[in-house]
Amino acid sequence: MEWLNTNVKVPDVAFYKDALNRQQQLTKPPGSLGVLEDIAVRLAAIQNTQKPTVERIWVSVFAADHGIAAEGVSAFPQVVTTEMVRNFSTGGAAVNVLSGFIKAPFEIVDVGLVKPITLTELIVDRAGAGTANFAVQAAMTEGQMQLALSAGKKAIERAIAHKTQLFVGGEMGIANTTSASAIAAAITGLGVEQLTGAGTGISTEKINHKSYVIQKALELHQKNLDSPLKILQYVGGFEIAALVGAYIFAAQQGLAILIDGFISSVAALLAIKINSKIQPWLFYAHQSEEKGHRLVLKYLKVKPLLDLNMRLGEGSGAVAAVPLMQMACKLHNEMATFKQAKITIN
């Protein structure tokens, strides 16, 4: 897994300064477009251009099952993961509709459903038949983790072949908020009860049970949770590992990344802990309603673009934020300067 630590190029400082200078010359008070200015300036540096664009977007959703679902931590049975994969494959999910709206190629990747299924539209890149129940043993072997990380890497290779300018990763896996909460607690040191939310919409009683399950699992594996990769191996999910691999490799290839909600942000947290140099390539789409997401974003010291009370996952919140990034680029590229508009500013 040496590729995970391969060096990441720093966004071009010269293009960053040029873009920042152009923002000061546009017909508006300096800084008045707020975050829209920051998006354009950062993209200019990432893309090494004076005119950044995000017209070619790639959406990959990674799906896998979780053994921890056996502990009764979700409102839905495990079979829903497979049923949703079928829904993705026929274009019926929210992320399908939103991806179509922004004209983005969409793919669904089986990284580890409990039972393999055959669908023409499905990319099969499996690390195993679901993770093990991490309440009683490690979620995955090291070999399975490597396969899942590589599944994310290969998704980026497909995206780059299409000359993609922005990558969006999504996830599907019943009980994956349990895994994400466990990972977040292990990395941040925050209390499990602070990071454990309703997920698929469970009751307060079930949230308390979910928190208890996570706490006991972390205690069980405590001596092994001494590195980001070990945390991923012991309490993670195959689709979370795929996102980690995708984020790291995308940054290594100079591709901008838009992070979705809680689970995707936890994957980003892991990716940053593995290779901290990827941070400048990450944009955060929205703050979800999932309880722990705000705390993860705070720990990362980042501010998301939107807060729409969403908690769906599957990359939907990130895709919803794409038009905002596109508008930021249009404003940067097409607004007149004070000189062009013959407006006196002195």
- On whether the CB atoms of residues 277 and 7 are closer than 8 A, the answer is yes
CA distance 99 to 104: 5
- On whether the CB atoms of residues 14 and 258 are closer than 8 A, the answer is no
Q: Annotated catalytic residue: which of 37, 71, 171, 314? A: 314
| Torsion over CA: 255, 258, 264, 270 (sign) | positive
Pick the closest to residue 35 from 47, 23, 53, 50 (CA basis). 23
Specify whether 314 is catalytic: yes
β-partners of residue 283 are 258
Per-residue buried b or exposed e for 230-269, using 16+ beta carbons within 10 Å of the residue's own CB:
bbbbbbbbbbbbbbbbbbbbbbbbebbbbbbbbbbbbbbb
β-partners of residue 61 are 108, 170
For the beta carbon of residue 106, count every other beta carbon within 10 angstroms: 23
Active site residues: 314
